[in-house]
Amino acid sequence: MLKRTLVLLTTSLLLSHLAKAEIKTEMVAYVSNGQTMEGYLAYDDAKKSSQPGIMIVHDWMGLGDFSKQKAERLAKEGYVAFAVDVYGKGVRPSNSEEAGKLADTYKNNRPLFREHMKAAYDKFVGMKQVNSQKVMVMGYCFGGMAALELARTGVPLVGTATFHGSLSNPTPEDAKNIKGPVLVMHGADDPHVNKNEVKEFKKEMKAANVNLTFISYPGAVHAFTNPDAGNDNAKGVAYNLKADKQSWVEFEQFLKRIFK
């Protein structure tokens, strides 16, 4: 009888702990350049002290399920994750043509791009759940460019990571402002980020003495982490299961290094 009681008590305590370790998610509004933005926050509310923070930047389709799911995944690992919003609350392209136009708006206006990223950063580091001394940024495609733009502002990031991100930069001299190491995970056959762009990016990082790790995945093209990208490499955009898994392993190892 006593043994049964102890088992029930242990089970009850375990279930109680699991219930407390629930991942909380919420939409978070903030303002940039007079525009209301709305990001997605995910964290483990069982952790009472502040935790390392990860900013996640969406692809050219805007903040959606893909970025939100990454935030939840990282929250389960103990990080505070914030899927930021570059376009603005309710501004979401409905097709690739609209997405291209929106993305070009920021690609061609880097000061505005940086302003929106800086506003997201300021909001994030001010949250009680976040250890403001341990914040990094990651991004996908368009979001990779966004992550690098935030790093180039000189905010005290402990690291920057991009998945099949754009590497162009009209002001390469700004790379000297980057704090912390940079991890770039690139599709070796990506037609949207050509060899010359890669060459110039590496040159930019070397000139600024940035600690760069650049990984190219053979046979991978643009958007290789996104299952919705299809599987036809000839289109220049396609999912690659092997590159997806390998890049996430590299990213997790990167997190362990920068957050140690």
**What confidence score (pLDDT) does residue 5 get?**
43
Residue 42 is part of which domain span?
22-258
Contact by Cβ (8 Å): 255, 247:
no
Burial-class residue 85 by CB neighbours within 10 Å (0-12, 13-18, 19+).
buried
**What confidence score (pLDDT) does residue 145 get?**
98
Looking at the predicted structure, is the pLDDT value of residue 56 above 70? yes
Residue 217 maps to a domain: yes
Residue 108 maps to a domain: yes
Q: Which is nearest to 218 in space by CA: 243, 238, 194?
A: 243
Number of domains in the chain: 1
Rounded to whole angstroms, the Cα distance separating 62 from 74 reads: 19
Q: pLDDT grade, residue 20 (50/70/90)?
A: low
Model pTM score: 0.91
Residue range 205-258, pLDDT digits in tens:
999 999 999 999 999 999 999 999 999 999 999 999 999 999 999 999 999 999
Looking at the predicted structure, is the pLDDT value of residue 136 above 90? yes
Which tokens go with 58?
Answer: 């969406």
Residue 114 sits in a domain whose CATH number is: 3.40.50.1820
Residue 2 maps to a domain: no
Average pLDDT over residues 149-156: 98
Residue 34 maps to a domain: yes
Residue 14 maps to a domain: no
Residue 132 maps to a domain: yes
Residue 126 maps to a domain: yes
Residue 16 maps to a domain: no
